[in-house]
């Protein structure tokens, strides 16, 4: 999972109501980018419109960003 969108419980309930979804897993899967259907994309867009925050996981950042040299020196001194 590379990205996710976090929303308040109230927004999550609003999304369920607006999209007429009874299964909470559908919202969860859409917000965690586990599905990429047209409805999942609509749910994500609406969640962001309602104030949701999009996040990248640390694993993905670690693969795309060079490691901090200070962190490397801290690791060496700990050994």
Q: What distance in Å separates the CA atoms of residue 68 and residue 9, rounded to the nearest whole number?
A: 36
Give the model confidence (pLDDT) of 55-75 as tens digits.
Answer: 987 765 555 555 555 555 445
Distance of alpha carbon 50 from alpha carbon 12, whole angstroms: 10
Helices and strands: H and E segment counts in the chain: 5, 2
> Per the confidence metrics, is the pTM higher than 0.95?
no
Distance between alpha carbon 24 and the CA centroid of its chain, in Å?
16
pLDDT 10s digit of each residue in the chain, 79 long?
Answer: 479 999 999 999 999 999 999 999 999 999 999 999 999 999 999 999 999 999 987 765 555 555 555 555 445 555 5
| pLDDT score of 1 | 43
Domain ranges of the chain: 3-78
């Amino acid at each position: 999972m590379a990205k996710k969108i976090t929303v308040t419980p109230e927004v999550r309930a609003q999304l369920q109501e607006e999209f007429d979804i009874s299964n909470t897993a559908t919202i969860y899967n859409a917000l965690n980018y586990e599905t990429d259907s047209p409805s999942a994309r609509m749910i994500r867009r609406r969640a962001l419109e309602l104030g949701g925050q999009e996040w990248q996981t640390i694993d993905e950042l670690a693969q795309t960003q060079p490691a901090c040299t200070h962190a490397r020196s801290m690791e060496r001194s700990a050994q």
